[in-house]
Structure 1
């Protein structure tokens, strides 16, 4: 896949997967620590359920505890870590309910962003990049690229469209969701390596976006998001940790 990230890097909101290290050089220590720790959680270097302390992270990144503590406070607000009383922190688990909620919000936001981008129109360089990205699923099916390239392509594709929606808050919300979704998709891929986007799915969105058909673009985006939602939930439900989980007694409904 050609390296043409200049399009997405020229937009206000860039997914963590597509950022390069040099882009963090101008950040303060807390922001650098936040981005570094968040990245490790998203790419599963710090897997769900793993525990750590402020001291261990400060030593790893060779910085003081203060920026690490402040970064962890932000990550707690993000819902990515939980504090353990007098024992450090633990990475939040990936659950079926939270994944379903995440995917449902993603369907709503990405579908509307796609429709808005189609209505407003997308600049030629971005359209060319979207066309390239829309073909990656065919390249994956042919064995020409791997799952990592396919994952990057899908996230970049949706992020470009979000940034062309004309709504800055919507674009930011979608990119934040894509970062969280990346963690879930990586987990799903570890459980079932054959999970992948069907060839032609992104191309269908691209063609309708190019034709500036807002309703058709919304429908194509909605179809893709819901397909991912069902596939991911099905894969996660097969996890050994889910099958071994105890089944709790339901709480009886109170009589009215």
Structure 2
């Protein structure tokens, strides 16, 4: 019984983690937003202990700051940290491109094509567009089967959303979709040099992409995310 209870608690903690992470990456919770355990727990129908576990995990991923005697908040990376992050991300994603160029399977091509179509369909939905654009990059990393690349690209894509929220400018989702299509074409063709150049240009362009309006009540912000995870 204890093991089952532990498994259930772990599953709900992971659901809270996913809901919060998605809200942060969607920029529904802007950098600096306070993350009170009681409000989150109340909205998601879980204990403060499970909320705290999720916040600790998010802090390890660089998305949340745990401040002594002040509680948790969405991280606020500095502009210098942002520059360093994108330089690192460019290097890692060039390695992703080099690994995948000319080596994509038919199933992988179909998966990426379907994802790009989903991005195209979501161009008018700002939050969804932002999330899907980032997921394209994590999907590419997953296809390398390199656990280190997968882990670090996932973390850097998540933190990129915070940089964009703080320092970005309005972006064109149409442009992002077009760049993803071009990149996929080059990967399929095995044109590594062109694919690498496209990825570098694309990531450089990402630094100018935009934010969502701030919202005050965290319970309102998290409503849809909690429902999606079967919480609350």
Map of 2:45 onto structure 1: 62
Q: Distance in 2 between matches of 1:74 and 1:156?
A: 20
Map of 2:139 onto structure 1: 160
Q: What is the CA distance between 1:94 and its match in structure 2?
A: 4.3
Identify the match of residue 110 of structure 1 among 88, 93, 102.
Answer: 93
SS of 1:28 mapped into structure 2: helix
**Counting helix residues as a fraction of each chain, which structure ranks higher?**
2
1:6-51 deviations in Å (ceiling 9; x for gaps): xxxxxxxxxxxxxxxxxxx995233222222223332233322222
Q: What is the CA distance between 1:97 and its match in structure 2?
A: 1.8
Q: What is the CA distance between 1:73 and its match in structure 2?
A: 2.1
Map of 2:175 onto structure 1: 197
Q: What is the CA distance between 1:102 and its match in structure 2?
A: 2.0
- The answer on 1:123 being equivalent to 2:102 is no
Q: Is the 8 A contact 1:43 1:183 kept in 2?
A: no
Cα RMSD between the aligned structures?
Answer: 3.3
Q: Distance in 1 between matches of 2:71 and 2:24?
A: 16
Aligned residues: 203
Q: Distance in 2 between matches of 1:153 and 1:51?
A: 25
Q: What is the CA distance between 1:101 and its match in structure 2?
A: 1.9
SS of 2:101 mapped into structure 1: helix
User: What TM-score comes out, normalization by structure 2 length?
Assistant: 0.70
Map of 2:229 onto structure 1: none
1:76-107 deviations in Å (ceiling 9; x for gaps): 22232223443322222243222222211211
User: What TM-score comes out, normalization by structure 1 length?
Assistant: 0.64
Unaligned runs of 5+ in 2: 1-7, 212-232
SS of 1:89 mapped into structure 2: strand
Q: Distance in 2 between matches of 1:100 and 1:172?
A: 20
Map of 2:27 onto structure 1: 44
SS of 1:192 mapped into structure 2: coil
Q: Is the 8 A contact 1:114 1:165 kept in 2?
A: no
Q: What is the CA distance between 1:152 and its match in structure 2?
A: 4.5
Q: Distance in 1 between matches of 2:111 and 2:118?
A: 11
Change (3 A) 1:193 1:168: closer
Map of 2:217 onto structure 1: none
SS of 2:190 mapped into structure 1: coil
Q: Which has the higher contact order (CA 8 A, sep 6+)?
A: 2
Q: What is the CA distance between 1:201 and its match in structure 2?
A: 2.3
Map of 1:73 onto structure 2: 56
Unaligned runs of 5+ in 1: 1-24, 237-256
